[in-house]
Amino acid sequence: MEILNASIAAEVAKKLLEIEAIRLQPDKPFTWASGWKSPIYCDNRLSLSFPEVRNLIKENLVKSVQHFFPQVEAIAGVATAGIPQGALIANELSLPFLYVRSKPKGHGMENMIEGKVTPGQKVVVVEDLVSTGGSSLKAAEDLKKAGFEVMGMVAIFSYGFDVATKNFEEAGIKLICLSHYDALLPEAVKTNYITPEALNSLGEWRKSPSTWMQ
């Protein structure tokens, strides 16, 4: 995983905390769908309701695509949270947009991919959040099966799990994120969102999220 730059990573993390798209509760952890206990909850869809933050994210996702994938020919969002971000990027770059479902539509054409399928087209995938990378990489694989050339993926935020790094490396997919967990924690301390003492617990969670607090 790479980031556009450190200052943008810090700014995006700060804004996501301010609008409560990211919440940190090491003393009252959340429970994820996987059953993991987590001190963090991230819902970047909230950024769409804040024009300033929405534009900050859009502009820097666009810069990420232009810098790392200049030969891009289309943008693909991962359903559902990657759809609005992908559409904003595609519109800004005047590129075709499509999106990838988590499973085929249950009626009609039963499409997995919605939009014009053009085999050989160079596409960049857009995600809002990367945890282990499983659903994101499945979308990339579905695009490959349809004949697209997947250049890479851009996302707003990543937890920075080692398993995600391994999964993306094994899939041969380059991942660019605007911000990540390592940029978030210093901003949370600076703004008094968390205490310095909470950093140890937050760091332990990232090392072993499946066993944290057990």
Q: What is the pLDDT of residues 134-180, one digit of tens each?
A: 999 999 999 999 999 999 999 999 999 989 999 999 999 999 999 99
Q: Is the peptide bond before 80 cis (omega within 30 degrees of 0)?
A: yes
178-196 pLDDT, tens digit each: 999 999 999 999 988 998 8
Please enumerate in sequence order all residues whose Cβ is within 8 A of that of 85, keeping only pairs 6 or more positions apart, or say none: 57, 58, 61, 77, 126, 128, 156
DSSP element (H, E) containing 42: strand 40-42
Residue 153 pairs in a beta bridge with: 125, 175
The domain segmentation of the chain, as residue ranges, is 2-205
Please enumerate in sequence order all residues whose Cβ is within 8 A of that of 113, keeping only pairs 6 or more positions apart, or say none: 76, 98, 99, 100, 101, 142, 143, 146
CB 48 within 8 A of CB 42: no
- Cite the annotated binding site for orotate by residue number: 131
Q: What kind of architecture, by CATH, is found in domain 2-205?
A: 3-Layer(aba) Sandwich (3.40)
- Cite the annotated binding site for 5-phospho-alpha-D-ribose 1-diphosphate by residue number: 101, 105, 107, 127-135
- Cite the annotated binding site by residue number: 101, 105, 107, 127-135
